[in-house]
Amino acid sequence: MLDQPKTRDTNGKTTAGPALDFQTHLAALEAAGLLVRVDRPIDKDTELHPLVRWQFQGGLPEDQRRAFLFTNVVDGSGKRYDMPVAVGALAASPDIYAIGMGKPIDEIGAAWVHAVANPIPPVKVTSPACQEIVITGSDLKKPDGGLKLLPVPISTPGFDSAPYLTATLCVTKDPESGIQNMGTYRGALKAVDRLGVRMASRIGGAGGYQHWLKHRKMKTPMPCAIVIGCAPVVVFTGPQKLAIDQDEMGVAGALAGSPIRVARCVTVDLDVPADSEIVIEGLVDPELLEPEGPFGESHGYVALEDFNMSMQITAITHKRKPVFASIISQVTPSESSVIKKVAYEPMFLSHLRDQLSIKGIRAVSLHEPLSNVRPVIFLKFAHGVARTEVWRGLHGASTLRADCGKIVVAVSEDIDPTNTNAVLWSIAYRANPIEDVHIAPYRSGGHGPKAGRKSNDSSMLIDATLKQPYPPLALPAREFMEKARGIWDELGLPTLSPQPPWHGYTLGDWAETWDTYAQRAVNREWEQSGKETFAQRRGGLTPETPVRDVPDPKK
């Protein structure tokens, strides 16, 4: 059923690089051992998402997460769907994301920066694969037709109000400039020919919402095309939040290394990826909104009922044998948080290092578990960097995006910013709250649950870097821990997954004398040290007086 893992250029020739359609990408994942096929019946409404969710909530290491391809999808009535459903195939892990990009993880940041600066315009084609089957008119309104033909899962069974489209690429067009925008927005099934669509209206929110505002002013319905399943490099542009006047299709082309093949929709004047699996075309009402939700959101809470956009479906088109794509979102880590994290971290680092010229910035880590990447940011700085640079970095990270950086913490380079325990340790012992914590007021409410939330928020910036030399970390030195690790493995004890810090190291406050004492101790020569300290005994001192604070009368 799946194509072989190869890509093609606009002339149909085989090329190297990322997959240019979704099924080719699935085949590449399968070839890499990153895809699990499930052939037994799976209920799309009660079993499908919960099953995949376990790899995020079950304590599995990130590199053990997989994409899932369900080939026998049913619902509670026993209805069987012809379309397989893929979940986790875009970004269940950074490794899966990297295969979609066609690049190693450590090259993804540079690839995004280059693609944004050097877009490759798409090329139009006719008779696209995404229109091999076209459903319009009365066929959309059949009791079991239209949207009911699609195996749309319920993401959060027990709380969601309907099956939801999640792995979307929603294409809209600025009615004034004609520039298209692509965003990832949720879509609730309302009828066989109607969707409830939520495009974020907050600051830093959806480009599609800005287009809708113009259509509302003009009193004209807004054309919208929702793409389900296409080349990952195209899908990844949706959550990236590029400039609203930049056509993401050109950025996707630069990521792919060749123009993206696009085709005009059947019933609306929009261009969509020609090799998409499924396209849902329609018109969004410019005035009337309808209740939408509840739905489990990526901030980790259920979004309650809001008035959101109402989209009347005018066509559903798809390949002859399509695969339906869905993503795991809600509580993080999740597929949606990986999509953001892998792209956002290098974007923030580039902004601080290249645009703001922050000296000594080493890394940016967006905290993922539960907090969903956006609110909490950790910055790693070189030892000894000027405090002015630390504070410029803290402010720069908190203001780059309206929905990111509510809490920003700076740590020194001996701290692993991906280890939250290490960051908290740094805050506990290296930050004086009255001097090293700053509250910046008048921040946008950002991305989060609305319950009890006011319109304005604030940012907390924390300098938890070393301000002066510190004593060594109180763990055995590296050589001793490594030797002990060898014995551990030799004994066949449980597999270890060490997180820094796992060995002791110096932080500047140390003397050669103490090195001598430590070496003598492991060489069973500690009595010599005792003789030397006996000769230094003094009277008239309070216990715990530092030795270095008492002058040596012999010197």
Q: What are the tens digits of pLDDT across the range 270-284?
A: 999 999 999 999 999
**Selection from 272, 293, 323 nearest residue 22 by Cα:** 323
pLDDT greater than 80 at residue 204:
no
Q: Of 326, 346, 376, which one is at a domain's C-terminal end?
A: 326
DSSP state of 541: -
- Does residue 257 belong to any structural domain of this protein? yes
Q: What is the per-residue DSSP string for 290-348?
A: EEE--EE-TTSSEE--EEEEEEEEEEEEE-SS--EEE---SSSSSHHHHHHHHHHHHHH
**Are residue 309 and residue 421 in the same domain, yes or no?**
no
- Residue 537 sits in the same domain as residue 443: no
Tens digits of residue pLDDT in 2-43: 544 444 333 333 345 899 999 999 999 999 999 999 999 999
**CB-CB contact of 198 with 255 (8 Å):** no
280 and 140 share one domain: yes
Q: Which phi and psi angles does 291 have, rounded to 5°? A: -60, 135
More confident of the two residues 206 and 266 = 266
143 and 250 together in one domain? yes
Listed residues 402, 432, 463: the one ending a domain: 463
Residues 284, 195 within the same domain: yes
Residues sharing a CB contact under 8 Å with residue 359, sequence separation 6 or more, in sequence order:
385, 386, 389
Q: What is the CATH number of the domain that holds 52?
A: 2.30.110.10
Average pLDDT, the chain: 90
Strand 324-326 to 85-87 pairing: parallel
Question: Are residue 514 and residue 387 in the same domain, yes or no?
Answer: no
Q: Is residue 299 part of a domain?
A: yes
Per-residue model confidence (pLDDT) at position 227: 97
Assess whether 215 and 70 both reside in one domain. yes
Of the listed ranges 59-68, 271-280, 441-450, the least confidently predicted one is 441-450
Each residue's pLDDT tens digit, 320-348: 999 999 998 888 888 888 888 988 898 89
Residue 99 within any structural domain of the chain: yes
Give the per-residue pLDDT at 531. 95
Residue 65's pLDDT is 94
The reply to whether 248 and 386 lie within a common domain is no
Contact by Cβ (8 Å): 420, 474: no
> Which of 311, 326, 341 is the last residue before a domain boundary?
326
pLDDT in tens, 81-107: 999 999 999 999 999 999 999 999 889
Q: What average pLDDT does range 413-436 have in this prediction?
A: 95
pLDDT at 205: 63
What's the average model confidence in pLDDT over 147-160? 94
DSSP letter string, 441-499: EEEE--SS--TT--SEEEEEEEE-S-SS-BPPPSS-BHHHHHHHHHHHHHTTPPPP---
- In this model, does residue 203 exceed pLDDT 50? yes
What is the average pLDDT across 426-450?
A: 86
Task: With CA atoms as reference, report the closest residue to 334 among 53, 25, 64.
Answer: 53
Share of residues in the chain with pLDDT > 90 (%): 73
Asked if residue 554 is part of any domain, the answer here is no
Q: How many domains does the chain have?
A: 3
Owning domain of residue 405: 356-463
Buried-exposed string 137-146: b where 16+ CB fall within 10 A, e elsewhere? eeebeeeeeb
CA proximity to 169, closest of 204, 202, 130: 130
CATH of the domain at 399: 3.40.1670.10
Same domain, 111 and 33: yes
Residue 273 pairs in a beta bridge with 262
User: For the ranges 148-152, 179-183, 203-207, which has the lowest average pLDDT?
Assistant: 203-207
For strands 295-296 and 302-303, give the pairing: antiparallel
- Predicted confidence at residue 347, as pLDDT, reads 87
* Residues 310, 361 within the same domain: no
Task: Let me know if residue 473 belongs to a domain.
Answer: no
Tell me whether residue 272 is in a domain. Answer: yes
Residue 344 lies in a domain: no
| Same domain membership, residue 292 and residue 202 | yes
Closest alpha carbon to 283 in 329, 257, 327, 314: 314
Helices 94-101 + 22-31 axis angle, to 10: 130
How far is CA 37 from each of CA 33, 86, 523, rounded to the nearest angstrom? Answer: 11, 9, 57
Band of residue 451 on the pLDDT scale cut at 50, 70, 90:
low
* Same domain as 202, residue 57: yes
CB contact at 8 A, 290 and 198: no
Structural domain includes residue 2: no
Amino acid letter, 34? L
Identity of the amino acid at 388: T
What ranges in 102-206 are assigned the alpha helix state H?
108-117
In this prediction, residue 201 carries a pLDDT of 79
pLDDT at 402: 84
Tokens matching residue 97: 């994301």
